[in-house]
Structure 1
Amino acid sequence: MKLDISYREIWRVAYPIILGSVAQNILNITDTAFLGRVGEIALGGGVLGGLLYHVLLMLGWGMAMGGQIIVARRVGEGANEAVGRVVEHLLFTLGAFAILIMLFAHTLHPAFFSIAVRSNLVCDSASSFFGYRLFGLPFAFLTYSLNAFLIGITRTKVITLTSFITVFVNIVLDYGLIFGNFGLPPMGVRGAALASVIAEIAGAIFLLVYISRMNVRKYKLFNFSSFSKKLLKSILDISWPLMLQFSLSIFVWFVFFLIIEKMGETPLAVSNIVRSIYIIIMIPIWGFASATNSFVSQHIGKGKSDQVVKLVVKVMVITLASVLVLSALILLLDNSIIKIYTNDEHLINATLPVIRVIAIAALTMASAFISFNGVSGTGSTKVSFAIEVFSLTFYLGWAYLIAITLGKSLSLVWTSEVLYGIMVTVISIIYLRTGRWKNRVV
């Protein structure tokens, strides 16, 4: 059967998400660049505090992704009137969930960092960053819920505008709150966290106002009809493996950075710079992966399951091409790009070898994310969770072996990313080709 979706259509849906990701990840780039001027301790604290925050963030992202899969399936089935209730249940549930997480994390995070981090200075910096950053969680969850609606119905252009508003606010406040410009108090690493929180609030409010003025009557959005335990159960049945999977993935990355922290403050600072550059290369991957999720679910809803594998391969081709271009540019301009983050020659020279590793790793991640989101888009989220657990076990084991047991170089530690990308790609493609997902009902 001939695939009825073109590269143009894939790009039409994916590019606003990609642009949104560009803007969203400038938050990370901006924080890292400013904190690099503060010093190695601020860089290390920012990355550890930020990663722990993202562990919690991924709980909401996972549930929103489950809602997005259901939204896309209903659109594919032509049941548009059922979409609004799914989104409303996401909004209420994630709002309550965010408050519970904040209360729990606010109480426990100082003790957690004191146990997990060897350096007292890095520990204090990470705890300060996280304590402020935590207040952005409800607004991030609100944005994720609304994005699930937009991506599920493949109307993604407003995501770009929202993200750029968020970034603009963050850049201005980073400059003001980290260093004490514009008459604001100099807050250092806490200022970076507070700037991101205020930026998230601004983005969430804009997106809510924009969608409330859209013509969404056919989806019955914001009707706020009665609460349905059955619908919530359906959302959670799809979402809980994604929630655990995404949070586990970021938590493993957090542990990965804790392993690097044991190598010293300089490797940790280098890895924060590398992480920021790596995220730039990953931007198109996330955009195409989100599009893959919706495309796969919609195709199954339309009764076109036979096209799914071809669809995943087609998205993979365009993603690999995009990442190849970005990786080549990063390698060509590596020294100039690193100088955005630091003017310390020692850090620059230590970062260069690791940049070459992540340029290769990004290509394996491109195929991994697309094939993996193909699996989750079928509704087989328990299978995708199992794939993630299996692959991350090897990922973390390899990192510990290289860094702690054998005491090898930082660039070799980062080859964990290559190993993970290859494993996820192979397992996901094998599962998709078995066709065992075709009878999955969501």
Structure 2
Amino acid sequence: MLGSAAQNVIALSDSVFLYHLSEQDFAAIGFVGVFYLVVAAIGYGFSRGGQLLIARRMGAMEPEQVGRIFYSMVYYELGLAIVMFLFMQYGCYYFFSLFIDSDIIFYKSLEYLEYRSWGVFFSYIGVAIIALYTGVARTSFIVIDTVVLAVVNIALDYGLVFGHWGLPQMGIAGAGLASTVAEVVAFVVFGLYILFDQHARIYRLFHLPKVDFSLIRKQYKLSFPIVAQAFVGLGSWFVFFGIVENLGERELAITNLVRMVYLILSIPCWGFSSGVNTLVSNFIGQQKRQAVVPIIWKTAKLSWISTMIIALPVVIFPTYLLYPLLGGEDMSLITDAQPIFWVLLIILSSFAVGGVFFNGLVGTGATYYGLKIQTWCAVFYLAYIYIEVNFTHGGLAWAWASEIFYWLAMIILTYRYLVSNRWHGFRL
């Protein structure tokens, strides 16, 4: 759960400190934070293809193939990181101008990315390492590394956003720098762990292979639909924030608060979704296809129960439970967001099941069908939001309700495909 939520942890800590800085900074991080989540999701999506291949090889008792798959994944992620870095440095000025009306939000978003963009190199290699250890089903150190990431990020956010401990007061730019440094530290810690990992030799991690373009193409072919799914899913969320920004900075700040709570409460589902990828692929590698749908059902039930355990108290008592993070003289933002929290509870209920089912489908290798499902759902999602915000004026609650319809459609379409057994013919 923690490994899958690394970017969520960063986004959360950045948002909390900027909430205490100013409402404008908090609104800006809501917009640019979602944009960076899309960037991170692209790298994460490409790593999932490698994760599926590693899990499949482990299920087939071929651990010596793991290192070759891992390094092919790293080579590709590095090339992709260069492309994304150049886009964030030189293309975002023009890209953001298409979505943002407020000059303050526009320039604060660019200020954040000036430092945050450097972290993409360590983020992309980091997700490759996470994919490696998730694929071989040895995830314990991911917890430690994510804790290191969170602690460093929180400490540097406190110092750089407000100018404590002799550090310069950089505001939203400080949050971007803090997150980048935290990713560097987490990467170094995981690198040291690999050096002392006894299983690394079994996986041939100390043998640097030549660039295998055929294997990279295979991973790309498997991963591209996953990346496109992430781009469509989070990209539509990014457009949603752009549409809400047109309603005003206050509405954007409320939406960012709800997003922040959403990120916290969705952590169980992200973890179970990543885990079900490995389980499904590993079971297929063992020629146990009959166990796939039952294990997805069991994982979905665990995901829903875990999500509801942490979500219900937050939704029912948001003022009390969010006060330690967001406490201050003005709690009106939480009060104004409370109606959206009830909508969020229904969203989380459907997401906890839909996210696991969808990632179970991805684990079978049917990634192109998954892309088809998500694209149609996203088109419906964006059309609904555009009409709701611009024509019906039902308010933020009805705009957020689009997430419910999105995940219900995902559950129905994914379940129908899984029980049809059409995925049995896929080979990795």
Length-normalised TM-score, structure 2: 0.97
2:88 partner amino acid = A
SS at 1:94's partner residue?
Answer: helix
Are 1:238 and 2:222 an aligned pair? yes
Q: What is the Cα deviation at residue 52 of structure 1?
A: 1.5
Deviation at 1:310, TM superposition (A): 0.7
Asked if structure 2 preserves the Cα contact closer than 8 Å seen for 1:76 and 1:301, the reply is: yes
Give distance in 1, aligned partners of 2:215 and 2:358: 25
Assess, with a 3 A threshold, how the Cα gap between structure 1 residues 47 and 222 changes in structure 2: closer, same or farther.
farther
Counterpart of 1:143, as a letter, is G
Q: Deviations over 1:248-276 (max 9, x none)?
A: 22111110001111111111001111111
Matched, 1:366 2:366: no
Deviates more, 1:173-182 or 1:102-111: 102-111
For residues 107-146 of structure 1, what are the structure 2 equivalents within 5 Å? 107-146=90-129
Whether the 8 Å CA contact 2:161–2:171 is kept in 1: the answer is yes
Task: Work out whether 1:311 is the aligned partner of 2:295.
Answer: yes
Q: Comparing 381-390 with 222-231, which one deviates more in the overlay?
A: 222-231
Identity rate, percent: 32
Q: After superposition, what is the alpha-carbon deviation per residue over 1:100-145, rounded to whole angstroms, capped at 9, x for unaligned?
A: 2211331111122223101111111111112221110000011100
> Does residue 200 of structure 1 match 2:183?
yes
Is this contact kept in 2: 1:24–1:164, CA < 8 A? Answer: no
State the Cα distance separating 1:345 from its structure 2 match: 3.4
Whole-angstrom distance in 2 between the partners of 1:45 and 1:23: 21
Does 2:160 align with 1:177? yes
TM-score (norm 1): 0.94
> Amino acid of the residue matched to residue 164 of structure 2?
N
Is residue 2:290 matched to residue 1:320?
no
Q: Is the 8 A contact 1:24 1:167 kept in 2?
A: no
| Separation of aligned partners in 1, 2:414 and 2:116 | 34
Residue in 2 that maps onto 1:255: 239
* Cα distance between partner residues in 1 of 2:180 and 2:321: 26
Instruction: Quickly say closer, same or farther: Cα 1:225–1:23, change in 2 above 3 A.
Output: closer
Structure 1 residues 20 and 144 mapped into 2: Cα distance closer, same or farther (>3 Å)?
closer
Bigger Cα displacement from structure 2, 376-385 vs 246-255: 246-255
Q: What is the distance in 1 between the residues matched to 2:206 and 2:225?
A: 27
Q: Shift in Å at residue 34 of structure 1?
A: 1.0
1:226 deviates by 2.3
In the other structure, the counterpart of 1:384 is 370
Q: Deviations over 1:321-356 (max 9, x none)?
A: 111111211123211234323532331221111111
Q: How many residues align?
A: 425
Structure 1 range deviating more: 389-398 or 281-290: 389-398
Q: Does structure 1 retain, via aligned residues, the 8 Å contact 2:318–2:334?
A: no
1:406 aligned onto 2:392:
yes
Deviations 1:259-310 (A, max 9, x none): 1111111110011111111111100000000010000000001000111111
**Is it true that 1:423 corresponds to 2:409 in the alignment?**
yes
SS at structure 2 position matched to 1:182:
coil
Q: Judge conservation of contact 1:32–1:341 (CA < 8 Å) in 2.
A: no
- Aligned with residue 154 of structure 1, among 137, 140, 148: 137
**2: distance between equivalents of 1:345 and 1:209?**
44
Distance 1:51 1:413, change over 3 A: same
Flag the 1:230–1:23 CA change in 2: closer, same or farther, 3 A: closer
From 14, 30, 39, the counterpart of 2:22? 39
Q: Is the 8 A contact 1:252 1:392 kept in 2?
A: yes
Equivalent position SS for 1:322: helix
Task: Report the equivalent of 1:221.
Answer: 205
Q: Which runs of 5 or more residues in structure 1 are unaligned?
A: 1-17
Q: 2: distance between equivalents of 1:98 and 1:271?
A: 29
